[in-house]
């Protein structure tokens, strides 16, 4: 706990220096935490955050050169994950009896894919210390690879552990998919517990609509039984980030 506190206070001053920079949500590179606002609890993890698509937005200066395989592995993984987003977006559309490209069209040709590699070190502190505090993702959806348990999803007053399944990618709906599906797919609150026995590594690929692109509920999912729940929004990820820093959800800002 002592270690956590002292790490927290030095991080707080680090973020105090940084927080005046506008549009921080697009910051990239290595960071010990991403919650710059004062009086917010810190997440107990380190991460490396990199934009991988669109390709021309890659900031290679933040891509580590060591280990030497890093860049190539990330390039290859990103390419595969992009293919997974195409398949997933089509499958989700079909499952809702919608035209298969409808979500892909909303995400746009320059959809964002951002890789967040997260390291959770062992933590001896009390259970209250979280690896990642409760939040929803501001993405369309997130593709998650994890090497250890710890992730939990909240539903109806209870936390449910997400199992670790070797080589499986866990797909987590984000707020923007909840908007596009007019609330049919829910963006769950989730968190990561800290672990005193084992460290944990996860790689989250955040898939979100292209910058400046308006998204909204699919017409086919708005009807008398299911009235429009959300209005059209753009750059929702930015709004989400602003609220996230204060420990709040942003979905209400998109309510119709
Ligand atoms: O590390 C995990 O399993 C979850 C990561 C996550 O929720 C996030 O980066 O938004
Ligand atoms: Fe998340």
Asked if the bond preceding 67 is cis, omega within 30° of 0, the reply is yes
Look at residues 172, 169, 138 and name the one whose alpha carbon lies nearest to residue 153.
172
Run of H or E residues at 5: helix 2-18
Ligand 1 pocket: which of 50, 117, 132 to mutate (most atoms within 8 A of CB): 132
Look at residues 43, 5, 48, 49 and name the one whose alpha carbon lies nearest to residue 132.
43
Atom of ligand 1 nearest to the CA of 190: 7
- What are φ and ψ of residue 126, in 5° steps? -65, 165
The confidence score (pLDDT) of residue 1 equals: 27
- The ligand whose atoms approach the alpha carbon of 45 most closely is 1
How would CATH label the architecture of 29-245? Sandwich (2.60)
User: Going by CA atoms, what residue is nearest to atom 5 of ligand 1?
Assistant: 204
User: Going by CA atoms, what residue is nearest to atom 1 of ligand 1?
Assistant: 202
pTM > 0.80: yes
CB 191 within 8 A of CB 159: yes
The confidence score (pLDDT) of residue 23 equals: 47
Ligand 1 centroid – CA 194 distance (Å): 12
CB 115 within 8 A of CB 50: yes
Q: Per-residue DSSP letters for 51-112?
A: EEESGGG--GGGS--SSTTHHHHHHHHHHHHHHHHHHHHHHHHHHTTS-TTHHHHHH-TT-E
**pLDDT per position as a tens digit, 224-241:** 999 999 999 999 999 999
Could you give the maximum distance between any two Cα atoms of the chain, in Å?
A: 57
CB 194 within 8 A of CB 131: yes
| Residues within 6 Å of ligand 1 by CB | 116, 118, 132, 137, 144, 146, 151, 190, 192, 202, 204
pLDDT, averaged per 10 consecutive residues of the chain (256 residues), comes to 30 37 62 61 83 97 96 98 98 98 98 95 75 93 95 96 93 98 97 90 97 97 97 96 90 97
The confidence score (pLDDT) of residue 100 equals: 98
The confidence score (pLDDT) of residue 81 equals: 98
Ligand 1 centroid – CA 80 distance (Å): 19
Assembly ipTM: 0.99
Run of H or E residues at 192: strand 190-193
CB 35 within 8 A of CB 41: yes
Write the secondary structure of 103-123 as one string of H (helix), E (strand) and C (coil). Answer: HHHHHCCCCEEEEEEEEECCC
Neighbours of ion ligand 2 (CB under 5 A): 137
The confidence score (pLDDT) of residue 35 equals: 52
The conformation of residue 230, written as its DSSP 8-state character, comes to B
Look at residues 200, 126, 115, 128 and name the one whose alpha carbon lies nearest to residue 162.
200
Q: How far apart are CA 250 and CA 196, in angstroms?
A: 32
User: Going by CA atoms, what residue is nearest to atom 3 of ligand 1?
Assistant: 151
Atom of ligand 1 nearest to the CA of 120: 1
Atom of ligand 1 nearest to the CA of 191: 7
Residues 6+ apart with CB under 8 A from 217: 179, 180, 181, 182, 228, 229, 230
Atom of ligand 1 nearest to the CA of 118: 1
- The ligand whose atoms approach the alpha carbon of 114 most closely is 1
Atom of ligand 1 nearest to the CA of 200: 1
């Amino acid at each position: 706990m002592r270690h956590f506190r002292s790490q927290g206070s030095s991080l707080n001053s680090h973020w105090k220096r940084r927080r005046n920079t506008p549009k921080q949500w697009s910051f990239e590179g290595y960071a010990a935490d991403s919650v710059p606002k004062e009086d917010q609890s810190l997440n107990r993890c380190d991460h490396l955050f990199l934009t991988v698509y669109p390709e021309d937005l890659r900031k290679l200066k933040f891509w580590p050169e060591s280990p030497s395989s890093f860049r190539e592995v990330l390039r290859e993984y990103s390419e595969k994950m992009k293919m997974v987003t195409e398949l997933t977006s089509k499958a989700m559309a079909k499952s809702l009896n919608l035209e298969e490209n409808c979500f892909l069209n909303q995400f746009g040709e320059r959809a964002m894919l951002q890789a967040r590699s997260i390291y959770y070190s062992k933590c001896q502190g009390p259970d209250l210390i979280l690896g990642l505090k409760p939040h929803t993702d501001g993405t369309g959806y997130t593709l998650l690879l994890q090497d250890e348990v710890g992730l939990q999803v909240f539903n109806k007053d209870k936390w449910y552990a997400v199992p670790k399944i070797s080589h499986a990618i866990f797909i987590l709906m984000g707020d923007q998919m909840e908007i596009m599906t007019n609330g049919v797919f829910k963006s769950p609150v989730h968190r990561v517990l800290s672990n005193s026995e084992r460290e944990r590594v996860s790689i989250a690929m955040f898939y979100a609509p292209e910058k400046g692109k308006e998204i909204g509920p699919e017409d086919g999912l708005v009807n008398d039984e299911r009235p429009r729940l959300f209005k059209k929004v753009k750059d929702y990820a930015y709004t989400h980030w602003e609220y996230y820093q204060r420990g709040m959800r942003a979905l209400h800002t998109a309510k119709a």
